Structure 1
Amino acid sequence: MSQQEFPELGCYLLPGHTKTPRDALTEARHAEDLGLGKAWLSERFDVKDAGVICSGALAVTERIHVATAATNLHTRHPMVLATMCSSLHYMSDGRFELGLARGVAIRNQLMGLDTVTNKQMVDGLDILRTLWRGEKVMSYEGPMGNLPYLNPGDWLDADIPIYFVGFGPKSLSLAGKHFDGAHLHTFITPKGLENARKAVDGGAGEVGRSTEDLKICSVMATVLNPSREDHLRKIVGRMATYMQAAGYAEMLVSLNEWDPQVLTDFRADAEVSSMLGGIDSVATLEQLEHFETLIPTEWLSAAAVGSAEDCAQRIYEELQNGADEVCIHGSTPAEFAPVVDAYRSIKHGKGG
């Protein structure tokens, strides 16, 4: 199995909401043809089941890796999740990777699920890795529940990378201690990336782990030659929606070392507080014009926007700033193909 031209680049399949999940098959093939190393899937509880979509994407490709970013540890029984992952691993000759997140707090509550604790994460990883080695889990009773006897078959020997998907400081430290890498989020600045790397490496150092093989994937919102409407909907609207989210926005502001008063003032705005739903879903263009005046230019500049060369340069710089991988977000492979061509020229021109 030959390596892709750009193992350091990835993209999301089905970015955002979709009613046509079959598009993932075309997108995965196109991403592979462009030379990308990985395609990530953000699971949604409608028509974006992680096992189904990843299976389809792996079945129609031969080289590109496919990963979840993310699914959750507690929405499937540990044996079911382990089986899903090992099936994808063996079906694809080792091209599947698992990204795990804690889950959205309000959604967990609505589904009757508790928030995933650090202890649950650690025990869950140990259970998954034990099962993938073909070993039994017996008489377990703890944060992952009551598991009297799990036996996957002693022939299994699946080495599946596991990423933590998130960016809180404690979670990034946990990633450094127990995961194979961290998959960050959109709109993280170079300073935020530096802080994320310190947190991951610091966690690894606390338990004596080498940081050499710990990967950090930075997510880069990428909009090629945007119209004014594209800019408002894909950049301003996305950032404004993140700023609505309690807890999430605070972590983003903290990681990037931004002024928290900006967030307070944004949420206090009458137009913002009157939004009945996510801003990127319900706001008019006129409202987005107003929201743009409330968001510092610096906050929006964490994205890759402009010409193909501008976008490619921003992605290249992100890798030079400490990211091991960059996941292109907000555009399909058909839309960002010129960016990859420009990135090729920059990388080869730099001797990469």
Structure 2
Amino acid sequence: MSLTVDQINCYILPGRIEDVREGLEQAAAAETLGLGGIFLSERWETKEIGSAMGALSQRTQRIKLVAGLTHFGTRHPLVLAGMASTMQSLSGNRFILGFGRSVPARFKRLGIPIVNNGGMADHVAILRKLWAGETVTYDGPAGQYPEMRLGRRCDNPPPVILGAIGPKTLALGGAHFDGILLHPFLTPEGVARSIAIARKAAEEAGRDPDALLFYATVVAAVDGCTAQERASIVESRIVSYLRHREIGTQILDMNGWDRAPMERLLARDLNELDFMPKDALEAETILARAAEDLPPEWLSASAAIGGPDQCIARLHDYIDAGASQILLHGPTPRHQAAIIGGLNKAAS
């Protein structure tokens, strides 16, 4: 299948940031490149989705604005529905609402309810009813709402997508959501397996599997980046996922990889980095060095690495595996431009 520039998305304001206004220029640059969408991951202290996306809607004219990701339970459903409908109005129907699973340990400390699969499915159903102008009376895993109504229907409700990696969450996405954001470091074969699970669940739920939107998150390190940039983009990032057994196991199983290398990695007890007073660069260096425990072919098979043409060929692999869209993870705007330039050249 062909790959066009408007199928490419990128993150803006990755990680911890000080000045959210930098995202305005990053979004404008992505739109100038012709990208199809920008993703903003929520951090309440500096990247609250509603306010940040509201500003981005006025700095851009065409590009899709994806909340990637927020969580259920952090806003009342009425507030969430109103925020999303307001974003649709502000952006000219360019908003996409993305959710991830809760972070149980953190949410417990904050007093935020942890929503199970049934609760997430019900939350989506509640949002859709509110957008349709219905009155919602509900008592279940998503909460207790005696009588809830938005007050004005949303004629163009945003698509709702789910970040998923494990089989149960993929099936949940296929049965109840409009699309799925797939995890970084899945191989094209892992992406194909993931998509098959979601599509099967959609069929079993009586939904059209062809209507589902699948974002393949592809870590990309383009030739020309420094050794430090490459280590930050690829080695430290894959280790940051695999050092968490519950995440790493899902990645390995979906890719069909042996677990022994991950067990060697886990023996390093790298999760202590979360509690040690190290600066970000030092922590990244430690994580990158730990990648020596992993087979080199894991990195080359699950990321786009090399010159622009090599990276573009790998992106095509993910589209051929069934992905609808590509979310570039890691490359700077300069390296994104190299990929986009190659795509435009191939199309001309």
Shared fold (TM-score, shorter chain, > 0.5) = yes
Aligned residue identity for 2:240: T
Does structure 1 retain, via aligned residues, the 8 Å contact 2:222–2:311? yes
Aligned residue identity for 2:221: V
Aligned residue identity for 1:107: R
The residue that corresponds to 2:220 in the other structure is 222
CA displacement 1:29-64 (0-9 Å, x = unmatched): 111111111111111132011111211111111111
The residue that corresponds to 1:153 in the other structure is 151
Aligned residue identity for 1:181: G
CA displacement 1:195-215 (0-9 Å, x = unmatched): 101111111121121111111
The residue that corresponds to 2:307 in the other structure is 307
Note if 1:114 corresponds to 2:113. Answer: yes
SS in 2 for 1:293: helix
Structure 1: 5+ residue stretches without partners? none
Cα gap change, 1:107/1:8 in structure 2, threshold over 3 Å: closer, same or farther?
same
CA distance in 1, matches of 2:153, 2:204: 34
Note if 1:201 corresponds to 2:199. Answer: yes
Report the count of equivalent residues: 342
Q: Percent identity?
A: 32
CA displacement 1:77-98 (0-9 Å, x = unmatched): 1111111100001111110011
The residue that corresponds to 2:13 in the other structure is 14
Aligned residue identity for 1:10: N
CA distance in 2, matches of 1:304, 1:280: 28
SS in 2 for 1:79: helix
Does structure 2 retain, via aligned residues, the 8 Å contact 1:238–1:280? no
Cα gap change, 1:103/1:334 in structure 2, threshold over 3 Å: closer, same or farther?
farther
1:129-144 map, 5 Å? 129-138=128-137, 140-144=138-142
Aligned residue identity for 1:81: L
The residue that corresponds to 2:321 in the other structure is 321
Cα gap change, 1:219/1:155 in structure 2, threshold over 3 Å: closer, same or farther?
closer
Does structure 2 retain, via aligned residues, the 8 Å contact 1:15–1:331? no
SS in 2 for 1:220: strand
Does structure 2 retain, via aligned residues, the 8 Å contact 1:15–1:332? no
CA displacement 1:274-312 (0-9 Å, x = unmatched): 645599936467645641310111221211222222222
Does structure 1 retain, via aligned residues, the 8 Å contact 2:236–2:285? no
CA displacement 1:212-253 (0-9 Å, x = unmatched): 111110011122223222222221111111112231111111
- The structure 2 residue matched to 1:188, chosen from 186, 189, 192, is 186
The residue that corresponds to 2:58 in the other structure is 59
Cα gap change, 1:78/1:222 in structure 2, threshold over 3 Å: closer, same or farther?
same
Note if 1:175 corresponds to 2:173. Answer: yes
SS in 2 for 1:229: helix
The residue that corresponds to 2:248 in the other structure is 249
CA distance in 2, matches of 1:166, 1:200: 10
1:226-241 map, 5 Å? 226-241=225-240
Aligned residue identity for 2:150: P
Cα gap change, 1:285/1:65 in structure 2, threshold over 3 Å: closer, same or farther?
closer
The residue that corresponds to 1:46 in the other structure is 45
The residue that corresponds to 2:95 in the other structure is 96
The residue that corresponds to 2:31 in the other structure is 32
Cα gap change, 1:300/1:27 in structure 2, threshold over 3 Å: closer, same or farther?
same
Moved more, 286-295 or 108-117: 286-295
1:110, distance to aligned residue in structure 2 (A): 2.2
1:321, distance to aligned residue in structure 2 (A): 2.1
1:123, distance to aligned residue in structure 2 (A): 1.0
